[in-house]
Amino acid sequence: MSGGRRSSSDGQGAFAAKGTPNERRATSDASLPPGIRSWSDGRVLPAAAQKFELIAIGCSMGGMAALEEIFGALPADFAVPIVVAQHRYRTSGEALPNFLRRHSKLRVVDAVDKEWIRRGHVYLAPADYHLYIDRGGELSLSVDAAVAYSRPSIDVLFESAADAYMAGVVGVVLTGANADGANGAKRIKERGGFVVVQDPKTAESAEMPEAAIKATRVDRILPLNRIGPFLVELCRNSG
């Protein structure tokens, strides 16, 4: 395992709002930064013509339920690999992967040091380890100091994924009670990647998505129940 490692667009088109009146109010365009639209109406996104190679997801408080919702919407043939940094207790063991396996058609595993990323897999940062993505698609674990009081750190995962895959990365920031992931989302945008953030009004803890929105000009702000279907649409030509 590694030691001494590095620490850590605008929306396209005006999409018609769907969903219940409450959902529409929760994601009103008036509450979003200029140029960003929260909904896709099913039309092919311009960004979907791009080949995405990796989805990186970060979450903390409320993350298990959020991941359950997203993974439940992804079909068995969803090919783009997914890496996840969920803040976990050191003693959590197999609780998180076992839970997510029951709600996903994809293969969910804790990442192993020096393992190569494969299609159709979800790789979780193990409890008390940072997860890095190395150039070429190799996973690397580290016991470096916590970043933003967190190990695994979302910023570490996002920043390394952005450096390794550049414009081929989709970053997803979900519910959480601190600002971890904001710097990583900014790095993904700087490298040309695509960033989706959960609408803070639909998050169990709004601080993490709010911090990401403040840090950079994200591509989409979506209620939780729209993120999974949106990823399917966005990645329809990828994998």
User: By C-alpha distance, which of 69, 105, 62 is closest to 86?
Assistant: 62
Q: Which of 180, 199, 205, 238 is catalytic?
A: 180
Known catalytic residue at 130: no
Contact 81, 108 (CB under 8 A): no
Known catalytic residue at 180: yes
Buried b / exposed e along 27-52 (16+ C-beta atoms within 10 A): bebeebeeebbbbbeeeebebbebeb
Kindly give, in sequence order, each residue whose CB lies less than 8 Å from that of residue 111, ignoring residues fewer than 6 positions away.
Answer: 83, 123, 124, 125, 126, 129, 131, 139, 141
Residue type, position 179, single letter: A
Q: Which of 8, 60, 153, 160 is catalytic?
A: 60
The arrangement of strands across the sheet holding 194-198 comes to 107-110, 121-124, 82-86, 54-59, 169-173, 194-198, 220-222
| E-assigned strand segments in the chain | 54-59, 82-86, 107-110, 121-124, 130-134, 138-142, 169-173, 194-198, 220-222
DSSP helix/strand/coil, 156:
helix
Q: Which of 40, 87, 110, 155 is catalytic?
A: 87
The three-point CA angle 69-74-79 to 5° equals: 145
Known catalytic residue at 2: no
Q: Which residues are catalytic?
A: 60, 87, 180
